[in-house]
Amino acid sequence: MNEYKYMREGLDSQYGILPLQDKILEIAVYIDSICKNYNIDYCLMGGSALGAKRHNGFIPWDDDLDIFMTPDNYEKFRECFCANGDKEKYYLQEWGAVDGMVTISKLRMNCTTYIESMLKNWNIHQGIYVDIFILHTCPNSKFSQLKQFFWAKYLVMKGLSIRNYDRRGGLISLVLSIMRFFPNRMLVRYSLKQVYKYRNNQTKYYCNFLGKAIFKNAIYKRKWFEKTVYAQFEKVELKIPQELHSFLTYRFGDYMKIPSCQQIKREQHAEFWSVSRDYRESLKRNVSFIDEKNLI
């Protein structure tokens, strides 16, 4: 008998994260249920979309799950969750939140633990989560795209500097060191406005400049995401872009190729996790949530 509710039988457990993946998928199924009930669109993105295509579920070593929502769909999701969501079980954590805008959101599960090295000393919710990335409208003009990209990466770099991201040497290390002297919320509102400003425009493109993809690989044809469809993901179905092959080829190239062991290690996020222990117990301290406002 399969011990997992959502993971398929017979999966290789060499990475030791099947219980974590099962719990992440429980969160994703809950998000999907809200989206079905309130006519909200979303789709898997990045490695999660790749996993759906290449593995019919999680990439075996993947310890997170990412989805896209447009600003309109995310704001409707937030409204519905805040009004009617299961807040005894889940917590909506919004990063960089100002004037209804966010850099990213995470729906976290209460009474679980997911500790990342850069955040373990922060007074924030640190339960297992699903990432919700905002799929922003991208202008047609290359100059305007570069401006939008600049302000998005300002937010990314500002967030990394606040979290004391440790990357030895190079220009990034220098920039992060300088940005640590800036006030934590400096230019966050202005930067988000530059990222969101095209949301009502009918352009040819979407973008995810607030993710880790470089400029070229973070701009996507709008038509790839105009329709979403359900696809098999472990024992359930989740939504993917209808033109998934085009998106994955553009984003990853030969996406059926398995990465090296070194690349696999870099892709994992958690320093420690537990599907049954509350993060406050794992951290051995009370958490006041005082640092939630500093997340960017």
Retrieve residue 295's tokens. 């997340």
What residue ranges define each of the domains in the chain, with the CATH number in brackets?
Answer: 18-140+202-294 (3.30.460)
Nearest CA to 20 out of 55, 64, 54, 66 is that of 64
Mean pLDDT for back-to-back runs of 10 residues, the chain (296 residues): 86 92 98 98 96 95 96 98 97 97 98 95 97 98 97 94 75 80 87 97 97 90 96 98 94 85 72 96 92 93
pTM for this model (two decimals): 0.93
Residue 8 vs residues 11, 20, 175, 236, 272: alpha-carbon distances, Å: 7, 14, 45, 9, 24
pLDDT for position 169: 60
pLDDT for position 265: 67
The residue written with tokens 């769909």 in the block is: 73
What does the alpha-carbon distance between residue 42 and residue 35 come to, in Å, rounded to a whole number?
Answer: 8
What does the alpha-carbon distance between residue 96 and residue 236 come to, in Å, rounded to a whole number?
Answer: 32
pLDDT for position 180: 82
43-44 and 90-95 strand pairing: unpaired
pLDDT for position 206: 98
Which residue intervals of the chain are DSSP H helices? 18-37, 46-54, 71-84, 142-162, 170-179, 188-196, 244-252, 261-267, 279-283
Nearest CA to 24 out of 131, 117, 105, 104 is that of 131
What does the alpha-carbon distance between residue 167 and residue 148 come to, in Å, rounded to a whole number?
Answer: 25
Are the C-beta atoms of residues 273 and 114 closer than 8 Å to each other?
A: yes
The residue written with tokens 């990034």 in the block is: 172
